[in-house]
Each structure stands twice: as C-alpha cells, then as structure tokens.
Chains A and B, each alone.
Chain A
Amino acid sequence: MQITGMLWGRKLLDLVEYPHSEVRGPELSVDEIKDMIKRHGEIFIKPVFKGGVGKKGKSGLIGRAKNITAALKEKERLYFAEHHHNNAVAKSDGITYEAAVPADHEVYFSISDNTNYRAPAMTLTHHGGVDIEELPPEKIAVVPFDPLTGLKAFHVSNALADLGAPTPIISPLVQNLPRLWDLYNNYGMTMLELNPIRMMPGKGGRYAPIACDFKCAFDLDDPAWKRLDLPPHVFASDYSEFEQEINQLRTYQGQSDVYIINDKGSITAPTFGGGANAMVTELLGEAATISSDFGGNPPYEKMNEISKITFKYWLEQSNVLFIIGGKANNTDIYETFRAIGDGLRSFFQTHGPRPLFVVVGRGGPNLIRGMGYLRDTLESLGLPYRFFGFDSAMSEVINYAMGINTWMMNGGKEEIMAKLNIK
C-alpha cells in the first residue's frame, strides 16, 4: 500500500502542516491553469499513478509548461501515460498541476525502519533531487533514533552539520522535518520520502523547505492508516481482484498472503509457510499462477473460503493443483486438507469436473488424517494424485509437480478429460 505523488501527498502533509508546492488536480479549467502559470511563472504537469511508482522524471514523465499551449499539450501526453520500470507497468489516470518552486538547494529526506540499527532512521542529504543510491555514503546522513521519543530537532541539526550543509538551510529544516515523524508514526507508515524538498527563498532570504514530491508506504498490519480516510481507489491498483478478495479474509489467525505470478500459469500451488512460499515460488517460476502463504494454522472456515476463491480464479487453467509445505509445527493438516478438499469438491459441483493432477508434499499435526480425507475426496472426484510425506525433499516434490505439469501439457490433460468424460 503506497502513495506516490503530490495529489494525495499534499493532503497528508497538510495534516502536520508541512509546506508544499501548490498542487491542483486534473479538474483544473483552462482559465485556472492560465492563472496558475501567471502566479508561478512555470508549472509542472505530472501523471497520477496509483501505488508505488518511482523514477518518473527519468522516464520523461514530468512535463513543464510556461504557457497554456504547452500545458495542454503535456496534459494530453501524460494523462494516460504508461510507466515501465523493471517488470512493472503502471498506467496513469489523470495529472496534477504543480507550481514550480524556485530554489537554491534541493534536499532529500526519508524515514524508514532501518534493519541495520533495528530502529527507525532518518536519511537526509542536502544533495537532493537525485536518486539517493547514486550518492556516495559520505554525502548522506543516516540517523537512527529512539521510537519512544521520535525524530527530534537535534537529530536534524546534527546530521546537517555533520554533512556540512549550507547554514541558511539548517534552521528551516530543523524546524519542519521533525513534524514528519508524526505523520510517519501516527498513520502506520513504513516509509516516508520527500524528494526533492526545494529550499525556496522567502522574505528576508529565509528559506522555506517546500515538498515537491511525496512517497510513502503503509503497514498493512497497522490499522492506523485507516484514520486518513483515503478513498479505496487510491490503493486499488496495488491489488488484483483475486488478491482483494483474498485480502478480505486477512486476520491474524492464519496467513492469507497471495501474489499473482503469472496469470497464464498452469500450476496452482496453495503453499504453507513463508519459507515454503519463498522456495516453491522460486522453483516453480512462471509455471505458477500465484505465490501464496496460507500457513499459520488457519481455521477450517477461513481455509475453505481461501480455497474456494483460489479455485474460482485459477483452477480452470491449471494442470496441477500442488499443495505444498514443510513439516508444519502448528498448522492442523486435517483441518486445512479438509477445507481444501471440500473447496475442490464444491468447485467440481458448481463448475463440473476439470482435468487436474493433484500433487501434495506436507508434514505436520494430523498429517495422515488430513491426507486420508483429501485422498478420499480425490478418489470420489476421480482425479489422479500423488502425496509425499515430509521425508521427501521439498525441491524434489516441486520438480515432480513440474514434471507432471509438462506431461499434462503434452497429452496428459486430454487423457484425464477422457477418463472424466469431459467434453
């Protein structure tokens, strides 16, 4: 759950009265745009992406305009712009008009929980406006601080002094940056970044630290972000329909983490345990439809719902239903396998039989009872299967499932269809 850009960023900054540039949304009329240009001399036109999208400037997705013609041209170019970064593609839906901020200095600021210090830490540099990774360490201050007392003025002051920052920018930053800890701490953030903060000269030459871009991430396990009352569509692009449906079942009793790997995959693998999740998805690669972690001893009802949703989305295209985990410590295998078996039976009842090979690798409490139940279900559905105990290497079981998938693609599926009389 992330927010990128000033459209929503400015509203969050307003909560702690942190200064930012004038930001207007796509609803602006031609006359209002003209007025904005007149007042600021220049405006930026930026696409609005939902979720976490970085490096827009490098991708040429920031427009600037000093007249209405240029502004409207940039609006047309950027309104539905596509942004490609690594494997991720994001599509803009709207633009913001942001006032250009004349500045002598650009500052980078962020707060995150730092695993080196196992504490929250501020990252600060007056060499801002660039990718922080591109700067040498000596130009960056990383300052851990006590979460019980929070980010204090002296943290900022000392850091800037150590960095040798120009004296005139220190005071306004010391005065304003600690407020951002309140935003970070009170609303369940795991990361907050302002880059750049443009130090705009004001009356008497005193600088104002104007936030010109905003990025933050929220902790899904901290309900504090709900206090912001942000509309659901702000986070909608983070999750597919499938993920959203599963997320509704998110409680602390049992995991229900899912991630779509390949919507054209052919192995659907309900996976149990974070470790198994890492390993299984690694080895299945693009053959997997989803990556999942359903461990943590989910109750029957929850696992059954999860199974039904997962099957609804993915079973139609799957060759292999692969139920996999290590030797469970506390997850009741009978309860989870019963829930999955019943979910599968229910799917067959409503959608009719599907050509499927079931592969299982698992250990844990009530293992044989659980395997017995699932076996009986598969027998009654007429599906072929192989169950492996925890004394079979998980990687070998994964390879077996991959092999079966290949066999299914090369005619096995048709053989099962014939057996099940599927036309």
Chain B
Amino acid sequence: MHKQGVGEFPYYVGINSLSELATKEDRVVVLNILGKESSGVTPISHDYSGGNIVFGTGPGKSGKFLPTKTGKIPVYNSIKEGMEAGHKFNTVVVYLPPAGVKDGVAEAVRTNPDLKKVIILTEKVSVRDSRIMRAICQTNGVDLFGGNCLGIGDAWNHVRLGGALGGNSPEESLIKGSVAIFSNSGNFTTTIAVYLATAGWGTTTSISSGKDVYIQYGPEEFLYALDNDDRSQAAIMYCEPGGYYEHNIQTDKPVVACVVGRWKAHLTKACGHAGSLAGSGDDALAKEKWFMEYFGVDSIYTPENPVVSKKGALVTNIADIPEALTAVMKLNGKEPDFKSKGSLSLKCWFGNNQGLNLPEEFDLPVVEAISPYNEQVAALEKQVGAQYRRETLKDASGASMMDPKTQISKIHQTSILDASEKTFEANLVFALCHEYPCEYGEKIANIALNMYVNQHGMATLAAAEASREAGNSPNTVVSAAVAIVGKKMVEPAMDAAKTLVELFQHTKFSDAMGEHDYTEQLKAAEAHKGALLASGSDHCADKMSACLGDGAKSVFIRFLLDFAKQQGGKPSTDAMFAAIWVTLGWGGMKSKKVTKNTLVNLPWHSRIYSTIVGVAASADRHGEDNLCGVKLEDLISKFSFTRTAFLALMGREPSDDELFEFQVLLGLIITNGPGTISAQGAKGAVSADGPEMPGRVQVNKAFIGFLTHTGFAHGGNGYEAAAFLIEQFKDTSLKAADDKNHGLDLDAMALEYANKYKTYKAEQKAIGNLEYAKVPCINHPIFKGKDVNFDPREEFVGKLFEGKGINNVFLDYYHSIVNALFKTKVSKNVYCVNIDAVIAVILLKMVWSEYKAGEMVEADIETASFATFLFGRMIGCAAEIDDHTFRGKNMDTRTPASKCSYVG
C-alpha cells in the first residue's frame, strides 16, 4: 500500500529532481531540537540555510528556544502545539533517541498533512522500527531519509537539511559545482566533496543515505532525480556491501562509483554501518561486478590502470574519485567546474621524530596547514609548555606511581632503580624538569644548588638552630628554615626566569645548549633591564659571570652576558641563577612535559633544595666563607651537590665509593608513590592553597607539608635496622664496613643470633605474646613463598655494588641472617632481604668508622638516617608539588564528610 509518486517505482517516491531535495522553500521542524547532538548542529544548519527551521520540539520544553545567529528557534512540547501556534512546515528532522524515532515520525505524519520529507539522523534505530516507519511514510506520500544519515546539503541552494554535512563550516566542503553525491557514509559525503575540489569539481546536491539495513532513499530514486536535475552533470556514489540497492541501476548521466569493503565478506557480525553485513550475493565483489557491467568496463580504475567509459568508472579508493571523474567527464566533453583547490598529497600538519632517524620516505616535513587551519595552528604554537587538564588528585599523581606487582616505584615513568644510578643533582633536576640533564646541565645545576647551600648569617640557619636546640626531630628543624624561604626571598630570580621564558617562548629551538640567534630577544630585553641586570649592591654578579661565562653552552647564559655587554652592565646573580634553571627546564617545556610556570618556579624550588641540605649541617659548620671547612668558591664551582649533601650530613667529604653509595641510597628513597604520607603532606599543602590559581601556591609551604608528614615512623624508621646491626656488630673488631678482610665469620654470627632469636620467639609465644620483636627489614608480603626469596630491588643494588667492587659487610651479614633463620627453622624458607635493609646497610656503612671512633653516638646515627631520608624524599615530593600545582584542583585532597567515620 503506497501512494503514487513520481516515476515508475513500485513504491512511493516524491522527489522528481535533486534540485527539490533541499530548497530555500523547505520549512523544517527538528524533533528533540535541544538534545546534545542537535543543539550543536542545528544552529549551523539554520544559519547556513538562511533560517529555514520554524520550530523544534522537546517534551516539557515548551517556551524554551535554541539560539542561533539568525535568530531564536522556538521550542514546543509537540508538533501539534507548534502547528497550533501557526507554524507550517514540510520537512521533519529527527534527533530523537532510537526508541522514540518511530513514534516521532508517526506523530509528524499524522499531525501534518503537508509533510513531504522526513530525515532521520538517529543511529541504532531498530530494523523493525525502520520497516514500520517506511510503511507509514509510503502510505502517506512522504519521502524518508536515513536513519543514521547526515542529511542533505545543497551547495547551489545553500541549504542543509538535517545533520551536519560539511561540519561547522559547510561552505568549506559544499562548493557549488556540477556533481551530485550519494554516499552510504556521512563522513565520506563531506570527505568526497573535499576531494572533488582538489580536481576542480564542485557539488550540487549531496546526500548522506545512511547504511542501515533499510536505506529509505536509495540509489535508484537518487539516479532518477539526478536525470531530472539540470544542474547536475554527473554523480558520485559511495557504496558498501550489503543490500541490493545498486543492482540494475540506470541513469542518463555519468557516474563514478566507489565500492569499499571486500574484507567485510569475512564478517560474521556488523561492524561500522549496521547494513554493511553482506550475504552471498550482495558483497563488495558482487557490487563491483554490477557497476563494471553497467559501465562496460573490465576492471577497477586506478591511476596506473585508468579504465573508464562514457558511462562511468568504478574505484575502490575514495582518493581515486576526483581523477576518475575527470577522466569520465573528459569522454563526455566536460571540463572541471573550477581551478583545482589544493591536492591530496600527504601533508603533515604536526610531527616529531623525537630524535629518531626515520628513513627519508617516512621523515615527512611539517608543512603549513591550509587556511583557516594554519591560523589556528599559529595560535596553538603560542601556547607554550604542557597544558594539563585539572583533575582531582586525591591519592593520584601525574608524577609518581608504585607498580603493585614489582613494588618498584617510578617517578616520571623512571623506576627508582634507574634513578638511583643518577646523581642527586640529576634527580633533583629531573623531578621538576622531567628530563635528566646532560653533563653540562649537571655542572650548572651544581652551581645553582651550591650557591645557596651555605646559610651563614641567615635567618634560615638561626631558625633551624633554634628548632634543633629545642630538641626537635630533623624534619622539624628543616621545616623551620624552609618556612623562611618564602616567595619574596626568590622573587627577583623568579621574575628573571619569567622574563627569559617570555622573551624566548615562541622560538623554535628546544635544545637550550645549542646555537640560537637571539638578536631579536636582545632588542626586546631592553624593557626588562631591571629584571636581568645587576644593581650596585649585587656583589656576587661578577663571580657568577666568571663562573658561568667560561665556555657557556647555555643559550640563556650567553644571552644574558651579551645583553649585559650591550647595556654596559652585568647580569644580576638572580638572573644568572634563573638562566641556569631556565636552561635546565627548557627542553621539558618545549616538549610539553612541564608547564611554563614550572620554569618560573624552578628558582624557588632550588633555594628550598639548597636550604634543606644546608641546614642539615649545624650552625657551627656554616662559616662566612666555608661550609664544613670547604671554601665556598670551591664548593660552588667544584662540588657536585651529592658531595655537598654528604658533606652537610657527615661533616666530611666522601670517598668515591661512599659518594656512589650515597647517591644510590638517595635514589632509592625518592618516592613510594602518591599514597605515602610524605607525598600526601606535600599534595595536601598544595591543594589547600588552591592550585587553580597556581601563583598562590606557596612552594616552601608545600615542602613543609612534606616535611611535617615525615617523622620517627616515616623517615626515621630506617634506623631500626641500623640499630639492629649496631647491636650485632658493636662488640666485634669491625673497623670499616667495606673491608673484605674483616675477619668475622658472618655465618657463625648469624647462626648464633638465629638460635637466640628462636629461643626468644618460642618464649614469647609461650606467654602468648604475638607482638614479639621481628628481625627488621627481612621478608616481604610480595616477594615470598619460594624456597629462596629475593627482593628484586635489593638484588639490583647488590649487583650494582658488585659491579663496582663495593663491599658492604652489613649487607653480607643480612644475607647470612636470612639463611640462618631458615637453617634454625625459624622461617619455612629463605626470606628475602628487603630494600629497607639496603638503605640501612648503606647508611650504617657511611657512619661506621665515626661510630667506632666514638665521634658519633647512636642518636647521631638516627639523625643522619632521618636527614638522609629527607634528602632523598625531597626529590619525589618536589615532583608531587609541581605536579599537583599545575594539574590538581582546589582542595581536591579533602575527604567528604560522608566518607569519614566517628569512632569515639
């Protein structure tokens, strides 16, 4: 049962010519106009078409409207209500959810006798609803389009009905010409139009047919309307497998058909278009054959084998459509509509090899994007550094993580095992800049860090000392000093860093140690003399220039020196200090790993680093011109910061082996992920300042957050193992812990201890005490259960030291202990020696000589142990502070009251 329409179709078709499909006279109603999809797309269609939408519907939304540039589109509860308000229309566009589509169409057909077209955009409409809607529309003489289509666009009439052909800039793709497009793919409707323009072909009417099982407006009726459209000289048909829609087609005009989807013959279920699941006779090969027979060609058109006839050509690649069309039209005596616009050659808009040597054919250069995208790219290039999307960082971090399987923590995706092979200064830089410095980078980092390590005569030292004298733990002592390193103390250096970043931010170079012509920046810097040049009171300026100027690889240091020369002055100490940190952070910022503001904050972090290390040494070790007896000039220019940290801690310089062990020790402590108390303290402090205004975050206060969240249990507990070892070794003849010929029978010592421990354990169990003392730093909840167990982190460090020929009698003893516990049947298998033991044995080895000589007492060892923890952990916490500052949200570490419990 169907109404009689145009032509000889066995079903109703109302469209006689393509020119009637989308006209200026069409008046449109959009169902569910305020839905997510429609509200984005409809205003563009409305504006492009000169305001053709009379109203929209949305149940319960009567009285609302959809704003567009052309005016407000009123919204009614129903079509009936809209019609009662006096609106007339002939076209309905459906954006309803799938379950509502059929009812919407039924309502439109029944309510409006003038209805001529219904266009369904909705995806995933059921087959049952599709066949019912078709039947309703056929009975009532309504042309149906879709579902899952993107509507109709007419470049001549400048009208877009439904959907979004051409996206948010229809003019870009729908260029007036002589070719009609019928495509199973909405995306390809636009893409083909863009491709055609590269060969000089524009379009008349473009139809996205959808590719559900039911294609309601199909190729046959399209070609009928093509023949009756004087504007259209040819057509492009993009077809996929499934259905007999293209079987026995007939037209008077040339056609280029693109059939894609041979592989779909292997499918057992639909993927992509629901209707693209072919049977045996309607797969891609069958469709190719239909078209080839119709065109009278014996093969597929390719640039290498350009087979065409006057009737048309078959392609299987949409990129071949423009060329094939030109060839077909040539046989028909027709030239392209206009001069070709661009080409389809590969044009890379963004690219980076990341330092890889790509073969020439793949190393495509980045080219300027076509207009108007080039302007958008240019605007994008002005965004400097990482742009993080803020998110809740409670118990989450973009800086650190712990792998629950391996128990190995990572900082910026680098395991602490790998980090432990790097120097202290390299890790301090890495924490904030996300890139390890090169040799020159380490050199200048050492200068920057050592510059402010001596606190002689400063309030920081006085505060620390007062705190120390009051009997505080090392973290509290350090906190007192750090509280004084407020923003004002570093503001000139931060201003200089900001100036340097802003002067250079839009330059192309990413290697701050390479060559760069900064003529332009020298001119621009005129306005920033105050931030970059030294004043009369800057007594260190000359020394800094001398120290850094010789063989300076840094673009920024060279720039400052040249700028000062140009101005007849000298760079300020703060500016040189800032230049060091900008140099170190530049690569990370350019590669979008760190934010621009991180670079500005680097001098602040640096001063805090130096303060924490500096005040670890008591006030009497800070001389006017020395630290622990080392001349400041030597310290700044010759010392690595690792050596300085050792010096501050122990009051003496380390041997080479000790330096290496100390570095490894600090590396192992860097982080245990964002869940550790120290990291939580740092993150909470940032969160409380409101990182959404990052300028308000007090970096020194964040470090205090970290420091106050360490303590005798977290940071000081490394001493537990040291105390255990002291107990075992204090009465032995051991003088140096690295002495291989120590003469001790470690296995016998361990066995003796194990036997004693066995007795102790039995006694405690007998009296019901299950909280008996455990041997510290052995066994592990993850690395257990095998006959002989190892903590891979301990193994790593063991091998590292073995490779360097470094001996540690305490570590050897620990291995003897775990074996002895097994032999005496205290343990069921050989426990692992865990990573905490490694930390303890390295530390104890450092202080053993002093301890044996009576220069240190056990309390000093505990303090040193705690301070060492603070040094290492400040690397990880600096990373957390910066990460939370530029990625976190205000007060995001809070716990909602509903998640808290009262246990009183």
User: Using a CB–CB distance below 8 Å, which chain A residues touch chain B?
Assistant: 1, 51-52, 86-88, 113, 115-120, 133, 146-148, 185, 188, 190, 219-224, 238, 250, 252-253, 255, 257-259, 272-279, 281-282, 285, 291-293, 295-297, 299, 325-330, 332, 338, 342, 348-350, 352-353, 360, 363-365, 367-369, 371-373, 375-380, 382-397, 400, 403-404, 407, 412, 415-416, 419, 421
Main secondary structure of the interface of B (DSSP, over half): loop
Say whether A253 contacts B36, CB under 8 Å: yes
Write 10 A-B pairs (CB below 8 A) sorted by A numbering.
A118-B134, A147-B134, A255-B272, A274-B184, A278-B240, A368-B377, A384-B353, A389-B373, A393-B345, A415-B356
Chain A positions within 8 Å of B243 at CB level: 115
| Shortest Cβ gap from B146 to chain A (Å) | 13
Given contacts A328-B167, A388-B346, A400-B346, contact A407 B358 (CB under 8 A): yes
Q: Which of A148, A327, A371, A375 contacts B187 (CB 8 A)?
A: A327
Say whether A274 contacts B380, CB under 8 Å: no
Expressed in whole angstroms, the Cα–Cα distance for A144 and B346 within the complex equals 49
Say whether B401 contacts A291, CB under 8 Å: no
Chain A positions within 8 Å of B272 at CB level: 255, 257, 273-274, 277-278, 291, 293
Expressed in whole angstroms, the Cα–Cα distance for A164 and B551 within the complex equals 103
Most chain B CB atoms below 10 A, which of A87, A224, A253, A392: A392
Chain B positions within 8 Å of A421 at CB level: 414, 418
Expressed in whole angstroms, the Cα–Cα distance for A358 and B829 within the complex equals 48
Expressed in whole angstroms, the Cα–Cα distance for A343 and B414 within the complex equals 20
Chain B positions within 8 Å of A296 at CB level: 123
Chain B positions within 8 Å of A378 at CB level: 352
Say whether B213 contacts A190, CB under 8 Å: yes
Within 8 A of A (CB), among B333-359: 342-359
Given contacts A120-B131, A329-B164, A407-B362, contact A273 B187 (CB under 8 A): yes
User: Using a CB–CB distance below 8 Å, which chain B residues touch chain A?
Assistant: 1, 10-11, 36-37, 40-41, 97-99, 122-129, 131-132, 134-136, 150, 163-168, 173, 183-191, 194-195, 198, 211, 213-216, 218, 238, 240, 242-245, 247, 260-264, 266-274, 276, 280, 282, 316-319, 342-359, 361-362, 364, 369-370, 373, 376-377, 380, 383, 386-387, 389, 398, 401, 403, 410, 413-414, 418, 434, 591-593
Chain A positions within 8 Å of B125 at CB level: 221
Expressed in whole angstroms, the Cα–Cα distance for A120 and B131 within the complex equals 8
Chain B positions within 8 Å of A419 at CB level: 354-356
Nearest A residue to B414, CB-CB:
A421
Q: Which of A88, A119, A393, A416 contacts B195 (CB 8 A)?
A: A393
Nearest B residue to A294, CB-CB:
B272
Main secondary structure of the interface of A (DSSP, over half): mixed
Expressed in whole angstroms, the Cα–Cα distance for A373 and B268 within the complex equals 37
Chain A positions within 8 Å of B353 at CB level: 384
Chain A positions within 8 Å of B274 at CB level: 221
Most chain B CB atoms below 10 A, which of A188, A221, A222: A221
| Shortest Cβ gap from B257 to chain A (Å) | 14
Q: Which of B128, B163, B344 contacts A188 (CB 8 A)?
A: B128
Say whether B347 contacts A293, CB under 8 Å: no
Given contacts A297-B37, A329-B165, A329-B187, contact A115 B351 (CB under 8 A): no
Nearest B residue to A397, CB-CB:
B346
Expressed in whole angstroms, the Cα–Cα distance for A353 and B410 within the complex equals 12
Nearest B residue to A148, CB-CB:
B135
Q: Which of B319, B350, B410 contacts A393 (CB 8 A)?
A: B319
Most chain A CB atoms below 10 A, which of B187, B280, B592: B187
Expressed in whole angstroms, the Cα–Cα distance for A148 and B136 within the complex equals 8
Q: Which of B215, B349, B364 contacts A389 (CB 8 A)?
A: B349
Q: Which of A86, A292, A380 contacts B592 (CB 8 A)?
A: A380
| Shortest Cβ gap from A378 to chain B (Å) | 7
| Shortest Cβ gap from A3 to chain B (Å) | 14
Expressed in whole angstroms, the Cα–Cα distance for A355 and B703 within the complex equals 35
Chain A positions within 8 Å of B126 at CB level: 188, 219, 221-222, 224
Say whether A285 contacts B263, CB under 8 Å: yes
Expressed in whole angstroms, the Cα–Cα distance for A338 and B391 within the complex equals 14
Q: Which of B194, B211, B269 contacts A391 (CB 8 A)?
A: B194
| Shortest Cβ gap from B8 to chain A (Å) | 15
Say whether A259 contacts B359, CB under 8 Å: no
Say whether A330 contacts B41, CB under 8 Å: yes
Q: Which of A350, A388, A404 contacts B362 (CB 8 A)?
A: A404
Say whether A278 contacts B127, CB under 8 Å: no
Say whether B349 contacts A329, CB under 8 Å: no
Chain A positions within 8 Å of B413 at CB level: 348-349, 352-353
Expressed in whole angstroms, the Cα–Cα distance for A255 and B37 within the complex equals 13
Nearest B residue to A144, CB-CB:
B10
Given contacts A376-B387, A390-B194, A391-B344, contact A330 B40 (CB under 8 A): yes
Say whether B362 contacts A274, CB under 8 Å: no
Given contacts A221-B98, A396-B344, contact A116 B244 (CB under 8 A): yes
Say whether A387 contacts B348, CB under 8 Å: yes
Given contacts A273-B188, A295-B187, contact A252 B124 (CB under 8 A): yes
Chain A positions within 8 Å of B401 at CB level: 349-350
Chain A positions within 8 Å of B240 at CB level: 274-275, 278
Say whether B122 contacts A252, CB under 8 Å: yes
Q: Which of A88, A118, A255, A387 contacts B349 (CB 8 A)?
A: A387
Say whether A275 contacts B185, CB under 8 Å: yes
Say whether A224 contacts B128, CB under 8 Å: yes
Nearest B residue to A400, CB-CB:
B346
Say whether B591 contacts A380, CB under 8 Å: yes
Say whether B164 contacts A368, CB under 8 Å: no
| Shortest Cβ gap from A109 to chain B (Å) | 17
Say whether B348 contacts A388, CB under 8 Å: yes
Given contacts A219-B128, A392-B347, contact A379 B352 (CB under 8 A): yes
Chain B positions within 8 Å of A275 at CB level: 183-188, 191, 238, 240, 260, 318
Nearest A residue to B266, CB-CB:
A87
Nearest A residue to B367, CB-CB:
A389
Q: Which of B131, B269, B354 contacts A383 (CB 8 A)?
A: B354
Chain B positions within 8 Å of A188 at CB level: 126-128
Chain A positions within 8 Å of B370 at CB level: 389, 391
Say whether A394 contacts B1, CB under 8 Å: no
Say whether A375 contacts B124, CB under 8 Å: no
Say whether B132 contacts A277, CB under 8 Å: no
Say whether A115 contacts B131, CB under 8 Å: no
Given contacts A273-B185, A379-B352, A403-B362, contact A338 B389 (CB under 8 A): yes
Chain A positions within 8 Å of B386 at CB level: 376, 380
Chain B positions within 8 Å of A120 at CB level: 131
Chain B positions within 8 Å of A342 at CB level: 389
Say whether B591 contacts A382, CB under 8 Å: yes
Say whether A330 contacts B37, CB under 8 Å: yes
Given contacts A365-B168, A375-B592, A391-B194, contact A257 B271 (CB under 8 A): yes
Chain A positions within 8 Å of B434 at CB level: 380
Q: Which of B11, B135, B150, B354 contacts A382 (CB 8 A)?
A: B354
Nearest 8 CB-CB pairings of A with B: A275-B185, A326-B191, A393-B319, A273-B187, A277-B272, A222-B126, A115-B243, A274-B273
Given contacts A273-B185, A328-B187, A384-B352, contact A115 B37 (CB under 8 A): no
Given contacts A275-B183, A376-B387, contact A115 B134 (CB under 8 A): no
| Shortest Cβ gap from B352 to chain A (Å) | 6
Most chain A CB atoms below 10 A, which of B10, B164, B414: B164
- Given contact pairs A252-B124, A275-B240, A277-B273, a sample of 11 additional A-B residue pairs in the complex whose CB atoms are under 8 Å apart: A238-B268, A285-B263, A295-B187, A327-B191, A329-B150, A330-B150, A369-B380, A390-B194, A391-B370, A393-B195, A407-B358
